A and B are shown apart, each in its own frame.
Chain A
Amino acid sequence: EPEVTQTPSHQVTQMGQEVILRCVPISNHLYFYWYRQILGQKVEFLVSFYNNEISEKSEIFDDQFSVERPDGSNFTLKIRSTKLEDSAMYFCATGTGGPDTQYFGPGTRLTVL
């Protein structure tokens, strides 16, 4: 069964550094999402992406965050200057359309020191 993959599984970085989290969507999916989950808290929506542009973003997704599909397959989340409070599990999700089933990747655990 096809699945969403994410790399790396764990990223440790120093505060102020840039990180790029990568996701490989399921091949026929056109909608892409990033969510995050701070330890012990609920999963929060960050951004949705369709047709090579952001379709919606949350207030968490400020100017420090950006997303792109650099090569038409990978879907990346970049945090330009990481803060301690960015430490969380980041999940990529993909889907075939709109508010339908979203398939989540295994997540990247980001630790900012």
Chain B
Amino acid sequence: SQQGEEDPQALSIQEGENATMNCSYKTSINNLQWYRQNSGRGLVHLILIRSNEREKHSGRLRVTLDTSKKSSSLLITASRAADTASYFCATGLIQGAQKLVFGQGTRLTINP
């Protein structure tokens, strides 16, 4: 498998429910970032969590990072129709690389 893999690939829930998306990666990282992409549009940065952090909150978003399991989760609480989008995790690597390595993404659909 590749660096930065999200699961599930697609998630459909009712408005008001919580949505949880997971990301796994393979190499040591400096940080992990989550981005949102509305269909055919650009990438919107949601949150960055560094390798020495375990949990971070931003509004209705909660991100966890478990470096021992090389995994992260993104929780969106009290989902809204406007949260419908694709969500990507991207890892910033340690070895001098400034690039982000993206996963395949989770397509989230919030049903009204």
Contact = CB atoms under 8 A, between A and B. Distances in A.
A44 B102 CA distance: 7
A99 B92 contact: yes
Nearest to A4: B42
B74 to A, nearest CB: 16
A99 B42 contact: no
A43 B2 CA distance: 13
Interface stretch (A48-56, A69-77, A78-86): A48-56
B78 interface: no
Contacts, number: 68
Interface residues of B, number: 25
Given A42-B103, A42-B105, A55 B98 contact: yes
Interface in B8-40: 30-31, 33, 35, 40
A50 B96 CA distance: 13
A95 B99 CA distance: 11
Contact of A99 (B40, B43, B93): B93
A16 B91 CA distance: 34
B42 A91 contact: yes
A26 to B, nearest CB: 12
Interface of A: 31, 33, 35, 41-45, 48, 50, 55-56, 58, 89, 91, 93, 95, 98-107, 109
Given A44-B102, A104-B35, 17 more contacts: A33-B98, A33-B99, A33-B100, A42-B104, A43-B100, A48-B98, A58-B99, A91-B43, A93-B43, A98-B98, A99-B92, A99-B97, A99-B100, A100-B48, A102-B100, A104-B42, A104-B45
